[in-house]
Amino acid sequence: MTKFLFDLDGTITKQETLPLIAKAFGVEAIEGLTKETIAGNVPFVESFIRRVHLLKDLPVDEVSCLLGTVEIYPLLATFIRAHKEACGIVTGNLSCWIGLLVQKLGCACYASEAVVENQRIQKLSAILRKENVVQQLKEEGHRVIFIGDGNNDVEAMRIADRSIAAALTHSPAAGVLSVADYLVLNEVALCRQLHQLL
């Protein structure tokens, strides 16, 4: 079976979620760090730990409600809902933050995890490595298509059977462009490519 794995921020959503959280709650320094991470100038794990540290005292339920309102690409969402058994979201973001957002799509989700007590993040318990999800599905016999745009998607895209660089929200990182089989510049083109790969 073909499995389509989608990065979340900037691929399914029309904006990056961590800067959105920071802006809504008045937390400084997130947006610049996010841009540097997407470009590959700051290692994802280091950046993610720093960003979560800056946001960890925010109420988890309020963050989840906020992200539940994030605008998503409608044609892409329609494709995912129509093929939800074949689709999955693969994100470094925290499952406790993105739960309501993911529910709108109805597909599997692989995410980072945190220990939460009294609606506050106590510590990170697992940071997702996207390439591990790709490898697992390939070992189960699936053909894997990975769709992403950031530097932390590169290794997953490298080992996927096919990979698509999505320039929907911002330009893909140079590393993504170096390994992608396809480059799509808008949502219509992406959905056309996905249907061709079914």
**Within its chain, how far is the Cα of 174 from the centroid?**
17
Close Cβ partners of 64 (under 8 Å, ≥ 6 residues apart)? 96, 97, 98, 99, 100
Report domain 2-197's class: alpha beta
The residue written with tokens 């499995």 in the block is 3
> Tens-of-pLDDT digits for all 198 residues of the chain?
999 999 999 999 999 999 999 999 998 878 888 888 887 888 888 989 999 999 999 999 999 999 999 999 999 999 999 999 999 999 999 999 999 999 999 999 999 999 999 999 999 999 999 999 999 999 999 999 999 999 999 999 999 999 999 999 999 999 999 999 999 999 999 999 999 999
Tokens of 55: 């946001």
Cα-trace Rg, the chain: 16
AA identity, residue 71: E
Q: List the domain boundaries for the chain.
A: 2-197
